[in-house]
Amino acid sequence: MTAPFSPDTLNSLRSELESKARKLFIDGEFVAAASGETFDVTDPATGETFASAASGAAEDIDRAVKAARAAFPKWAATPPATRADMLLKLASLIEREGERIALTETLDNGMPFMMAKFAGVMGAAGQLRYNAGWATKLAGETLTPSAPGEWHAFTLREPVGVVGSIVPWNFPFVMAVSKIAPALSAGCTVVLKPAEQTPLTAVILAELVQEAGFPAGVVNIVTGFGATAGAALAEHKDVDKISFTGSTSVGKSIVHASTGNLKRVSLELGGKSPVVIFADADLDKAIPAAAMGIFGNSGQVCAAGSRLFVHEAIADRVIEGIAERARSLKVGAGLAPGTEMGPLVSEKQLERVLGYIESGAGEGATVAAGGQRIDGEGYFVQPTVLTGTASGMKVVEEEIFGPVLCAMRFGDGEIDAIAEQANASEYGLSSAIWTRDISNALKLTKRLQAGTVRINGGAGVDPSLPLGGYKASGWGRENGRAGVEAYTELKAVTVAL
């Protein structure tokens, strides 16, 4: 099998990345961190350092926020159609640079190259195009107050101001673009903080933002660590909103940090999403989908279907089907031809996932497939299926963020009982239902505490579909109308006539 990318592009990319540290992008310019410090970037497929990036901290964040503040009034007043044009231009530039972006993403995060291309590059371009459309469509309403008198009453939608966007390492590029696209469309200016594990594609994004001609300060990108750059952004008194995607524990610290100026906070956090397969489901579709729902991107997906509930009549077949898929999945470096599952992002993440597998076995779970680290270089773990799991076990309660499925069975019974099991989690991000019985599907849908329900496959992440969680899975929704409106304030205006 030949590689789906040009080896020349990869070689020149590697030497470019080795030659110099990536810089911060503040006020339209590429600059070193104020401290002059940089940090190493590691390839999770080999464990080797192959690049470095500027280690931005509080002082850099402050400069970036000042630039975003200065740029805000003009950007907010820019005609919506002009803002839309710029987002569309950025989408085209991202496609032009698609190969370089996807290669960088794979080197940095480890994901299979094709995933970096489709979920990453195409997903990002799609987000920009979708949100470009909203720039010209955001609008208030006219209203009818009941107070005595004659009124003209209406709402105005105004951009919220300077936005701090903090993104994780699991889908670095598309996450970064998904944050900035609605914010820019609504007329906000942005300071983006990529994850320290995966800072590189955000720097390409900065180059393309510059090329697209966004005015200086509209988009600022500060690479650096969570405890320094991230915390400084969350605390900053002149940031009007933080939009965060990442772990629930960091989400909570962002809420604390935001209290200084009571900035608006949107949180897209963890999940422990249930997949419910009824006895009448189309198993030829449900089995591979359930497998990829947990093994895709090595399970490092907030909406990963990590708890399987399967009707006892088909449980053996389904669990064995998924276990078989786990055993046959091609695990390897994201740039190796045919790789279906890459490494985990870091040694820390590898240890975390192995720790959970061990804890599951310690609490009485059976390892039906996988369960081991894959020997050799890099942070690889086998796709793993645990059976004999039950609520109360750590592996069932906590988000593992790795390719580990907990399989459980249910018998004939009420939809309410199935819903109760599925809802027995502090999280409520996503869910999946497989059945040919539309009534059962919709009854369960109504009972599930989850921001997303996918019936018989459903759609993946799409810019038009609201994404977010119930309970500890977050605050607010991204994507769709709700996603862009989350970057606005609503002003009620009444005129006594």
Catalytic residue among 97, 196, 268, 478: 268
Strand 241-245 relative to strand 366-369: parallel, antiparallel, unpaired?
unpaired
Q: Which is nearer to ligand ADP, 204 or 276 (CB)?
A: 204
**At residue 366, what is the residue type?**
T
Amino acid identity at 488: T
Closest approach of ligand ADP to the CB of residue 244, in Å:
7
CB 374 within 8 A of CB 381: yes
Nearest distance from C-beta of residue 247 to ligand ADP, angstroms? 3
Q: Per rule CB under 6 A, is residue 159 in the interface with ligand ADP? A: no
Which one, of 186, 187, 301, lies nearest residue 245 by Cα? 301
Closest CA to 434 of 296, 332, 273, 287: 287
Which one, 113 or 171, has the nearer CB to ligand ADP? 171
Smallest gap, in angstroms, from Cβ of residue 252 to ligand ADP?
9
Least Cβ distance, residue 231 to ligand ADP (angstroms): 4
CA distance 148 to 144: 11
62, two tokens: 């402050």
Pick from 90, 10, 23: which is nearest to 60 by CA?
Answer: 23
Q: Computed over its alpha carbons, how large is the radius of gyration of the chain?
A: 23
Q: Which of 42, 435 has the CB closer to ligand ADP?
A: 42
Residue 90 · residue 126 · CB < 8 Å:
no
Pick the binder of ligand ADP from 44, 120, 168, 483 (CB under 6 A).
168
State in angstroms the smallest separation of the CB of 427 from ligand ADP: 14
Read out DSSP for 188-239? Answer: -EEEEE--TT--HHHHHHHHHHHHHTPPTTSEEE--B-IIIIIHHHHH-TT-
Binding to ligand ADP in span 229-258, by CB under 6 A: 230-231, 234, 246-247, 250, 253-254
Assess whether 302 carries a catalytic annotation: yes
241-245 vs 307-311, strand pairing mode: unpaired
59 noted as active-site residue: no
Q: Exactly one of 302, 399, 406, 478 is catalytic; which is it?
A: 302
Instruction: Give the residue with the Cβ less far from ligand ADP, 55 or 387.
Output: 55
**Pattern 89-128, ligand ADP, x by CB under 6 A:** ----------------------------------------
Chain residue at closest Cβ approach to ligand ADP: 226
Q: Which of 208, 191, 207 is nearest to 244 (CA)?
A: 191
Structure tokens at 202: 């955000």
CB of 251 to ligand ADP, least distance (A): 7
Contact pattern for ligand ADP over residues 189 through 228, marking x by CB under 6 A: ----x-xx----------------------------xxx-
Q: Cβ closer to ligand ADP: 61 or 290?
A: 61
Nearer to ligand ADP by Cβ, of 93 and 269: the residue is: 269
Residues lying near ligand ADP in the complex (CB under 6 A) are found at 166-168, 193, 195-196, 225-227, 230-231, 234, 246-247, 250, 253-254
> Which residue numbers are catalytic?
268, 302
